[in-house]
Chains A and B, each alone.
Chain A
Amino acid sequence: MSGRTYVSAKINGEQMDFLCEPRQSLLEVLRDELGMTGSKEGCNNGNCGACNVIMNGVLVNACCVLGVEAQGGTIVTIEGVASGEDLHPLQRTFLDDAALQCGICTPGFIVAAKALLDKEPDADEARIRHWLAGNLCRCTGYDKIVHAVLDAADVMRKTPAKV
């Protein structure tokens, strides 16, 4: 019964149709079927956050979701965070604040932080640390990541998002 199932979902604003096996995770579908390798696999069991995407408005680990569950849903991945040449403020502050070293966890952190700031634009350091506890980084010690999120929040408060 491992036939492939037809799934239709809106990914980064575009309607996409794909076939996947029910046992394939959303992460496998994004990376292997759709060629969107920005979401990373660090643990494949929901403990590192490298595969974070926003699904139907909430932050999820794509490794803990079946691809077939995306049917009819909307998904935002790291590939959809910038709009064209305009980086998202988080992407800008991660660069300016040196908040990445090897960069493997960066897509997950940016997607997770975006989900936070979309919901809570005034998040403080304690809230940011709490929200990001599901995202592991082994290079930075988190200091510059937390600063980058605080700085992005500041930028976003000063310049309301373009429609």
Chain B
Amino acid sequence: MPRVMLPALLRPLAGGASSVETTGATLRDVIEDLERQHPALRGRIIDAGVIRPDVMVAVDADEVRDLDAPVPSAGEVHILPAIAGG
């Protein structure tokens, strides 16, 4: 059961939860399940079929942009705001 860790900004859209248990073997499945559980999150992570440019997603320690990337059943999916630098 992959667990999705949500940033503070998105928690109100998931009923205040900081993490959500999901089902799915790929990132796409996991996020679709997340959106099924919390429809308010639709469009906030994936938009037009891809990860939004202002969002970064990591599966455990690895950042992932490919929605077909596998997610281990004990994995953690981190949804984070994008960063840049000087």
A and B touch in the complex (CB under 8 A): no
Q: What residues make up the interface of A, taking CB atoms closer than 8 Å to B?
A: none
